[in-house]
Amino acid sequence: MIALEHLRALAVRHPCKPAVRSMDETVSFADLVSRVEGAIRYLVQWSSANRPRRAVFVAPNCNELVYWLAAFATLKIPVTGLDYSLPESVLVDLIERMDADLVLVASRSVAIPHALTGSHRRHVIDLHSPTTTIPPEGAGIAGCDIDAAIAEANGRPHPFLAMGVTSGTSGAPKITLRSKSFDARRFAYFTSTYGFSAADQFLVAMPLYHAAGNGWARLFLGLGATIDLIDGPACQDLAVAMREFGTTASVMTPPLVASVVATADPYGDALRASLRWLLVGGKNFPPSLKQAATDLLGPVVHEYYGTTETGVNIIASPDDLASYPDSVGRPFDGNHIMVLNDDNCPVPAGTVGRVAISSYMNMDSYLGLPADAVLVHNDRYLLTPDLGRLDVEGRLFLESRAAASGEREIPFYRLENAIRRLPDVTDVAIKSQNGTIGVIDVAITVRCRDGTQGLILREGIESCVRTQHLRLGAINILDRIPYSPSGKVRVADLPTA
């Protein structure tokens, strides 16, 4: 998040301008400075003897979280966000592996893991506890010279080591490590390319624990723009929030975009009047949804492709979405994409292989594990879990995820898109049937259920599956597909055959 010195400079220029908003509260830049100062006072008084080594937060988007993240940035305390919907045992394991001695939680939204409360090695700060709530006037805790504390923090050696966490929706989460920041270069590119400025109203629909939430929030707040916070997956009417905030820019997952498309009918004109940039990614973005979003919002929809390990690496412009709807776009500044065969050699355009990425945003390694890296033409590439092909102009077309050892590769994306085109199908998730090669289970949501629907849908889905030379196992019609807050399908939560 943005450090206090930068926030103070912004507050001098426009003290009364909204800096952070939720549906319940608006905080000006002047008020934001006061609240960050209050959080710094608390941290300095609590940790006067030993400054925390590393902090983590387990909380959905809320204004209070921004204050504390800015305080951590000011005091040079490294902090990592965790998916608050993960099982308690997984959260505790991640916190232990990161050796975090400070944990920020939001008790109104997330149960505090019991295993943390009895530990003498770590301090738990509850965003919603009366003892740590920062009053609006920023009184904080008296008797603390925060400028001296900031100077002391800046004077300490603090080698950069950023930790991130993979989604953990289809396996155990991994912890990524980076020894250098890429913010300055990436922020400068996007700001100059898309003309972002202090006039923007940026909707933080992605969780702040995720790079697609936190990184973009830092970019826009640093420009002096207003950031508007919602808990995207829990927001009942995303289109209403966009209209109320006058959103000019946002980053979303395809499920969030689908919710906007489904509910925005009365507000289409209002959304088109304000929105000028929407970036969508993190999951397969079906061509049908790309078209529906563009029809609703206008030619402002972009797509991105990237991974936790490699950052944001590919962008598809509105023109790309119209002309090449099956592609995720082309690499931009500082990113190079190759498609490799099983021997890690580049394959010709049009040939399907493993997607590999060279980027200034690439991680160094996992915690306790090496990166899946290869050298191609003396350049370091990270292997992604995706299979795809490049066209002669460098556009990437994704086909599927790479299969685990002993499993058959399944063209998940192509199959998902085909099933979505069936009448009444609104969402799709596919998984391989355990222990049976070439057999898949399909979960779907539909517009409405009736007695004859199951048979008709099965015939249509079986036809789609046969086209890919696979066999259909179970079909489960669900009320909703289980997604993580960052838009990944929770494969373990899908019904089994």
Its domain, for residue 468, covers 412-493
| Residue 37 in domain | yes
Q: Which helix (H) or strand (E) holds 150?
A: helix 146-155
Q: Are 94 and 122 in contact (CB under 8 A)?
A: no
In this predicted structure, the answer to whether residue 231 has a pLDDT above a threshold of 60 is yes
Boundary of a domain, candidates 158, 191, 212 = 158
At residue 406, the pLDDT reads 45
* CATH number for the domain harbouring residue 141: 3.40.50.980
Burial grade of 415 (CB within 10 A; 0-12, 13-18, 19 or more): buried
Q: What is the pLDDT of residues 69-81, one digit of tens each?
A: 999 999 999 999 9
Domain end among 110, 140, 158: 158
Backbone φ/ψ region at 368: left (φ over 0), alpha (ψ -120 to 50), beta = left
Q: What is the pLDDT of residues 319-351, one digit of tens each?
A: 999 999 999 999 999 999 999 999 999 999 999
Domain membership of residue 227 (yes or no) is: no
Residues 6 or more apart in contact with residue 107 via CB below 8 angstroms: 126, 127, 128, 129
pLDDT above 90 covers a percentage of the chain that reads 56
Look at residue 41 in the predicted model and tell me its pLDDT. 87
Predicted pLDDT of residue 143:
54
Examine residue 131 and state whether it is found in any structural domain, yes or no. Answer: yes
pLDDT for position 44? 84
Q: Is residue 480 part of a domain?
A: yes
Q: How many domains is the chain partitioned into structurally?
A: 2
20 lies in some domain: no
| pLDDT value, residue 104 | 92
Confidence band, pLDDT 50/70/90 cuts, at residue 489: confident
Q: What is the mean pLDDT of residues 351-379?
A: 95
pLDDT at 403: 55
In a domain, 469, yes or no: yes
Tell me, yes or no, whether 238 lies in a domain: no
- Residue 343, classified by CB atoms within 10 Å of its CB into exposed (0-12), middle (13-18) or buried (19+), is exposed
Give rounded-to-5 percent helix, strand, coil for the chain: 35, 25, 40
Give me the mean pLDDT over the 169-180 stretch.
86
pLDDT at 377: 92
> Any idea how long the chain is?
497
Residue 352 has pLDDT above 60, yes or no: yes
Q: For the chain, give the mean pLDDT.
A: 87
Of 158, 186, 215, which residue is a domain's last?
A: 158
Q: Which pTM does this prediction carry?
A: 0.90
Q: Which residues lie closer than 8 Å to 405 by C-beta, 6 or more apart?
A: none
Examine residue 312 and state whether it is found in any structural domain, yes or no: no
Average pLDDT estimate for 437-451: 73
Q: What's 489's domain CATH number? A: 3.30.300.30
